[in-house]
A = this chain, B = another copy of it.
Amino acid sequence: MAKGFQTLPGFRDFYPEECATRNHVFDTWRDLAHRYGFVEYEAPLLEPTDLYTRKSGDEIVKQLFCFTDKGEREVSMRPELTPSLARMAAARQRDFKKPLKWFSIGQFFRYEKQQKGRGREFYQFNCDILGETSPAADAELIALAIDLMRTLGFTEADFRIRLSDRSAWTDFAREAGVPEERVTEFLQIIDKLEREPAEKTAAKLEPLGVSLAAVHGLIAHGEAAGGSIGAIRADLAARGMADFVQVDLGIVRGLAYYTGPVFEVFDIGKGMRAVAGGGRYDSLVRLIGDVDMPACGFAMGDMVITDLIRETPAAKARLDEALRRSRALDVYVVIAAEDRRAEALGVVQALRGAGLRVGYPLVEAKVGRQFQAAEEQGAARAVIVGAEFPTLSIKDLAQREEKASQMETLLADLGVAG
């Protein structure tokens, strides 16, 4: 750019096409949340930094857009929503009937090393059920995630839910004699199991008194898992969703606060990426807000899912249709006689008043160029205002058929309620 203004690294400009793509994802998120009876909320984009360090330790500061504000407060652009949700739910817990079924769509910020599929800002869909300990709540979230993926155009050939339970690992650690204060470290080793060489994992497990074979043994027996996992699977089976679920105790999820079942929506194409993830966090609301409130939730970011939509033909087709609709006018008003501009503006106004998306030439233009503009803007029909006003002409731009109309009957002739 001539004067050097550029978007900051890791931040995105959403030109109309990218914004419509984003909105297709947002609309689907919101539609599914509504179908599942969730209500929307939003929290501040800027929060006190210690809201995040309380839960995750000072380590997280390295990844925060944090600073000292003009009032000497230590503040951070939010890297995630759950701590804010815990604060909000705790502060007004008496005002709402349990369980709360809440969702949110918003933007988040992490100062990360730049790499494909990771920005320094991203949008995230957060969906949580608070105030319910039953695995039925976990199942409701997983069902929502599955239906969300299906509504976006994905099938059993594209994704799986990988379901696990952290308590299987905390029980295992206790039985193996891992000291209480090292259980988090143990879980982090399990979290990296798939991504690190076996020798490295074995070496890290050894000082904890755990063998790699014992770890693999637990994973191998995962399918037999009862308890929460069994209840969740039975619930999803009753919804006809059994085939989407795969028990995989190798999943523990990175975040420190999970306490029970955890899951990922996992791309089974060549990408093999986690598209969404979540789990149960029964202690976080107490930690943040000093109120006992069991909870579970999941989040889906916009970046991986958007890549996946673009790579998957059926999902891409739905996106393309959404893009077409996002930019298409219903009617383009052609001003065939410039001295009828005032009357044409009246037509524009009448059509917009009926809820239609309407374009017209802001300044005098040749009729041919106006029809070209109508097609470029995806208008289904043109209404032509000329010397014959109040007689008008309606042209179907796909069928290339034209019929006469009158100002008084125009809405009816277009098949629109006035």
Given A20-B39, A47-B8, A71-B9: A2 and B289 interface contact (C-beta under 8 Å): yes
Give the oligomeric copy count.
Answer: 2
Taken together as a complex, chains A and B put the C-alpha atoms of A42 and B121 apart, in Å, by 13
Query: Chain B: which residue is nearest A373 at the CB level?
Result: B97
CA distance A349 to B302 in the complex (A): 26
Picked from B73, B75, B239, the residue with its CB within 8 Å of the CB of A345 is B239
Instruction: Give the interface SS of chain A, mostly helix, strand, loop or mixed.
Output: mixed
Looking at the assembled complex, report how far the CB atom of A359 sits from the nearest CB atom of chain B, in whole angstroms: 4
Complex interface bits, A135-154 against B, C-beta within 8 A gives 1, otherwise 0: 01100100100010000000
Interface membership of chain A positions 352-384, coded 1 if the CB is closer than 8 angstroms to chain B and 0 otherwise: 110111110011000000000100110000000
Which residues of chain B are within 8 angstroms of A19 by Cβ–Cβ distance?
A: 39-42
Residues of B near A77 (CB, < 8 A) are 45-46, 77
Query: Is there a chain B Cβ closer than 8 Å to A165's Cβ?
Result: no
Given contacts A1-B290, A136-B362, contact A14 B37 (CB under 8 A): no
Judge if A69 is at the interface, Cβ distance under 8 Å: yes
A-B residue pairs in contact (CB < 8 Å), sample of 14: A3-B288, A3-B290, A11-B44, A16-B40, A20-B39, A22-B42, A37-B358, A45-B107, A69-B111, A70-B111, A97-B373, A97-B376, A238-B341, A239-B346
Give the interface of A toward B (CB within 8 A): 1-3, 5-9, 11-16, 19-20, 22-23, 31, 34-37, 39-48, 50-51, 54, 62, 65, 67-71, 73, 75, 77, 84, 87-88, 90-92, 97, 99, 102, 107, 109, 111, 121, 129, 132, 134, 136-137, 140, 143, 147, 234-235, 237-241, 288-291, 326-327, 329, 341-343, 345-346, 348-349, 352-353, 355-359, 362-363, 373, 376-377
